[in-house]
Amino acid sequence: MSFISIADPMAKIRAACQRGASVYYINPRRIESASPKTGEVIQILPDTDLYLMAALLHEIDALGRFDEAVLRDHGKHVRELRDCIAPYSAEAVAEVVGLRADHIRSLADEFSAAKRAAVHMSTGVNMGRHGTLCYWLLQMLSFVTGNLDKPGGNFYSEGFYPAAKAGRVRHDPVFFSTRHGEMRHVRGALAGNLLPDMILEEDNPIRALVVIAGNPLLSVGGEARWRDALETLDLLVVIDLFRNATGEYAHYLLPAADMLERPDINICGLGMQYQPYVQYTDAVVPPAQDRKEEWWILSRLLQKMDLPASLLDQPGHPFGRLEHMMSRHNLTVDSLKASPSGTAVLDTRPIGRFYTDFLQTDDKRVDCCPPLFAEAMTLANQQFQALRQARPDFRLINLRTHYMHNSWYQNVATLKRGKHADNPLHMNPEDMSALGVQEGSNLIVSNAYGQITARAHADDSLRTGVVAMTHGWGNAQTPGLRVANEYPGVNINALLPHGPGSYEKLSNQAFMSGVPVAIQKG
């Protein structure tokens, strides 16, 4: 069992399958990555990943395959982990996750018996109700089976700069009380789902907002409340490459230099580099209409407010912090420019250093069940019991296509053609037949948060009980974007929870996938 994330990952996965590896994709839909040459899709019900992973751990422990030597040498709170997974046997979770109990036991047996095994999780699971707990149990699957920091298992990729310290937990209180409920700063950030409430509150409301490369009006739940909030702002500045619905409310709409108009150093993929490297790329073309980079725009605003703006006042060095990060390898921007393709490939040892170099706990032991998770686990168990009593008729997940990435391409005429002129509701043909609807039929999709009308589209890649829509649409009220307004589509986020209680407290991530909905003929 294997999942590898490096350059051209599918080639690596095909090669692994050819050598006899078993690769499984856990997903509510048959995704494009899966094929007879790259692995098998196991279609789980959305937003139940936590319970599947708890069951896998439960069954692996029942098989006696926890690596007791690894737990003894590197773990703590192991008893508490076992207590957490105790209620989640394969039989207990089978109906909730939508898989047979024997299938779950077989997966647990195969994973724990494999000489080498790795697990990976990405965007989608973190958008459910229990993203942090899901990532925790995923790491536990690797750790308790002895696959963490081992060849063929999971390891920490440091890239050209180890960012492990960013995950260090403080010992002072994590949560604090507010009029919007108990909250937490996550690296200085608060829950975006609460921003309209903070703008519209009577006492000490937010009066000014700067939005950079975002479209919260259509990207966050509660569009109507967002419109009310944006209209009350004294100042809204939007900095972006493309116009969008949020920008229609802006007092100042500032165009930023795009990716070909500015120099760059790769930093976004630090944790996904199998072979660490750092690359500098220069601007390819001059900025159109004298567009500026975001750092320049923000620094200029600071200057105009008589506040320090070191990057322009001194002048500073925009790559200064990155040069500090690269200094551990004796690299600078100038040395990268002089390197072939602006690239330095680094000779680091990725495996065998986790417990000594990267683990951030004070005692250098893996906390198998952090006390911070106790409240979240209680809530997860309550929701599990509710799902055992009654399952939603349908659960809504998001889609992305080559013709719409978030909402960036909503006003591009060449991408609005044929079947890509709107965003229908994808449904399994069996579900359509049960509802008595046909291709193109109008459907009313609703829940406690909103209601939309969408066109039905048959999609046998979805398991029954799961529906999907492409997000980033919904420009019926955006007259300034001619193409987007002509092909408005439907805003899927009108159905998303918003306000207090609509996000996971541990991470501030909004609940956006696997959302229960009801569907009837339009």
Looking up residue 290, the CATH number of its domain turns out to be 3.40.50.740
30 in any annotated domain: no
Does the pLDDT of residue 404 top 70, yes or no?
yes
Residue 236: both structure tokens together: 């809204």
Give 187-245 pLDDT, tens digit per residue: 888 999 999 999 999 999 999 999 999 999 999 999 999 999 999 999 999 999 989 99
Spatial distance between the Cα atoms of 391 and 295, rounded to a whole number of angstroms? 48
Could you give the CA distance from residue 388 to residue 92 in angstroms, rounded to a whole number? 9
Total length of the chain: 522
| CA–CA dist 71, 502 (Å, integer) | 36
Residue 33 placed within a domain = no
- In this structure, is residue 38 part of a structural domain? no
Cα separation, 27 vs 34, whole angstroms: 11
Answer whether residue 382 shows pLDDT above 50: yes
CA distance 141 to 493: 33
Work out how many domains the chain is built from and give that number: 3
Minimum mean pLDDT range among 29-33, 55-59, 346-350, 491-495: 346-350
Work out the widest C-alpha separation in the chain, in whole angstroms: 69
Residue 425 sits in a domain whose CATH number is: 2.40.40.20
Provide the percentage of residues in the chain whose pLDDT is more than 90.
Answer: 79
Q: Do 303 and 179 fall within a single domain?
A: yes
Q: In whole angstroms, what is the distance from residue 468 CA to residue 441 CA?
A: 15
Residues near 261 by beta carbon (within 8 Å), at least 6 away in sequence: 283, 284, 285, 286, 287, 288, 291
Instruction: Please tell me whether residues 410 and 510 are part of one structural domain.
Output: yes
459 and 365 in one domain?
no
Q: How far is 71 from 54, CA to CA, in rounded Å?
A: 18
Name the more confident of 87 and 410. 87
Q: Does one domain contain both 135 and 226?
A: no
Task: Give CA 360 to chain center in angstroms.
Answer: 23
Same domain, 413 and 455: yes
Residue 352: pLDDT above 80?
A: yes
Task: Please state at what angle helix 78-85 crosses helix 49-62, rounded to 10 degrees.
Answer: 120
Element (H, E) at 66: none
Q: What is the mean pLDDT of residues 28-39?
A: 94
pLDDT grade, residue 7 (50/70/90)? low
For the stretch 101-119, what's the b/e string if a residue is b when 16 or more beta carbons lie within 10 angstroms of its beta carbon? beebbebbeebbebeebbb
The answer as to whether 328 is a domain residue is no
Per-residue pLDDT, 16: 93
Q: What is the pLDDT of residue 130?
A: 96
The DSSP call for residue 358 is: I
Residues 151, 352: Cα–Cα separation, whole Å: 9
Give the pLDDT of residue 266.
Answer: 87
Domain of residue 505 covers 392-521
Least confident of 17-31, 102-116, 298-312, 463-477: 298-312
Q: Tens digit of pLDDT for each residue in 48-65?
A: 999 999 999 999 999 999
d(CA 192, CA 231): 17
Q: What is the mean pLDDT of the chain?
A: 92
Band of the pLDDT at 4, cuts 50, 70, 90?
very low
Whether 482 has a pLDDT exceeding 50, the answer reads yes
Domain boundary among 320, 344, 374: 374
The 8-class DSSP code of residue 397 comes to E
- Calculate mean pLDDT across residues 372-390: 96
Cβ neighbour number for residue 233 with a 10 Å cutoff: 17
Domain membership of residue 360 (yes or no) is yes
pLDDT (0 to 100) of residue 408: 80
What integer is the mean pLDDT of 393-419? 87
Condensed to tens digits (0 to 9), the pLDDT of residues 124-165 reads: 899 999 999 999 999 999 999 999 999 999 999 888 888 877
Contact 61, 116 (CB under 8 A): no
pLDDT cut 70: percent of the chain above it: 98
Same domain for 509 and 411: yes
Confidence bin at 171 (pLDDT 50/70/90): low
pLDDT at 124: 86
Least Cα distance to 401 among 352, 457, 362 occurs for 457
Looking at residue 244, its amino acid is: N
Reply yes or no on whether the pLDDT at 12 is more than 60.
yes
Q: Are residues 397 and 516 in the same domain?
A: yes
**Contacts for 431 with CB less than 8 Å, ≥ 6 apart:** 394, 464, 465, 467
Do 116 and 207 have their domain in common?
no
3-state secondary structure of 78: helix
Residue 169's pLDDT band, with cuts at 50, 70 and 90, is: low
pLDDT attached to residue 250: 97
Range 245-254 burial, b when 16+ CB lie within 10 A, else e? bbbbbbeebb
pLDDT at 77: 98
Whole-angstrom Cα distance, residue 259 to residue 279?
14
What pLDDT score does 170 carry? 66
- C-alpha distances in angstroms, 191 versus 21, 150, 194, 372? 40, 36, 6, 18
Between 207 and 273, the more confident residue is: 207
Same domain, 366 and 401: no
Residue 466 is assigned to a structural domain of this protein? yes
Close Cβ partners of 304 (under 8 Å, ≥ 6 residues apart): none
Q: pLDDT class for 2, splitting at 50, 70, 90?
A: very low
Question: Cα–Cα distance between 456 and 439 in angstroms, integer?
Answer: 6
Do 425 and 505 fall into the same domain?
A: yes
* CATH code, 65: 3.40.228.10
Residue 99 counted as domain residue:
yes
The verdict on 475 and 516 lying in the same domain is: yes
pTM for the predicted model, two decimal places: 0.93
Q: Which of 298, 215, 290 is nearest to 257 (CA)?
A: 290
Same-domain status, 297 and 246: yes
pLDDT at residue 270, as a whole number: 78
